[in-house]
Structure 1
């Protein structure tokens, strides 16, 4: 299995509901380092997993819709605890939609899986992986 990873970051604000979250129930900020890994069994005709420039551009676009936003105010997340795990799935699903729409080029049609990791810090992160 081949893989290619691109990286970016996103800055958000949010709060959580539930005692399990302790002081994070109050509004706070988070800066996530975001790694997206694309997987495929065979390279495309150009010997690529996916076009790294297109992958980087599409990740930046997906994160741009979240960057510098208070997620508590976003209609898509009304009533949702926007945990790191949850946000990893949001990013993965939005990127998957872009893959299926052709935004990562024709070579991306051979992609099999995508994994998105959001790193909260150097000691804590979450990953969501899905089929394409």
Structure 2
């Protein structure tokens, strides 16, 4: 399996519900380094997994919908704890939608999957891996 990874970052504000989150139940900010990896078993006719420029552009566009926002106020996250894991899945699903829409070029339609990793710090991160079949729940 081949893969290509592009990187960007987001800065968000949010709070959590539940005792397990301790002081993070209060509104706080977070900055994440975001890696999006695109996978396919074989290379396209140009010898690539995906157009890196388009992948970078689309990751930036997806993150632009989240960055500098208080996620507690975003309708898409109403009633949801926006944990690192939840944000990984959200970003992966939104990238998958863009692949299906052709925003990463026609060759990207042959991608097998996407993995999104959010790095909270140099010692902690989370990932979500999804296929590019039907939308996963």
TM-score band, normalised by the shorter chain? over 0.9
- Report the counterpart of residue 113 of structure 1 in structure 2: 113
**Aligned residue number for residue 30 of structure 1:** 30
Shift of 1:120: 0.4
SS at match of 2:86: helix
CA offset at residue 29 of structure 1? Answer: 0.3
Structure 1 unaligned spans of 5+: none
Which residue is 1:14 aligned to?
Answer: 14
Distance 2:21 2:82 in 1: 12
* Offset at residue 110 of structure 1 (A): 1.2
What TM-score comes out, normalization by structure 2 length? 0.96
Q: How many residues in Structure 1 have an aligned counterpart in Structure 2?
A: 132
Unaligned runs of 5+ in 2: 133-137
| Structure 1 residue 28: Cα displacement | 0.2
Aligned equivalents of 1:115, 1:64: Cα separation in 2:
19
Deviations 1:97-122 (Å, cap 9, x if unpaired)? 00000000011011001000000000
| CA shift for structure 1 position 86 | 0.3
Counterpart of 2:90? 90
| Distance in 1, Cα, partners of 2:108 & 2:81 | 32
TM-score, structure 1 as length reference: 0.99
CA RMSD of aligned residues (A): 0.4
Deviation at 1:72, TM superposition (A): 0.3
Distance 1:122 1:84 in 2: 14
Tell me the alpha carbon deviations over residues 70-101 of structure 1, each in whole angstroms, 9 at most, x when there is no partner.
Answer: 00000110111000000000000000000000
Report the equivalent of 2:68: 68
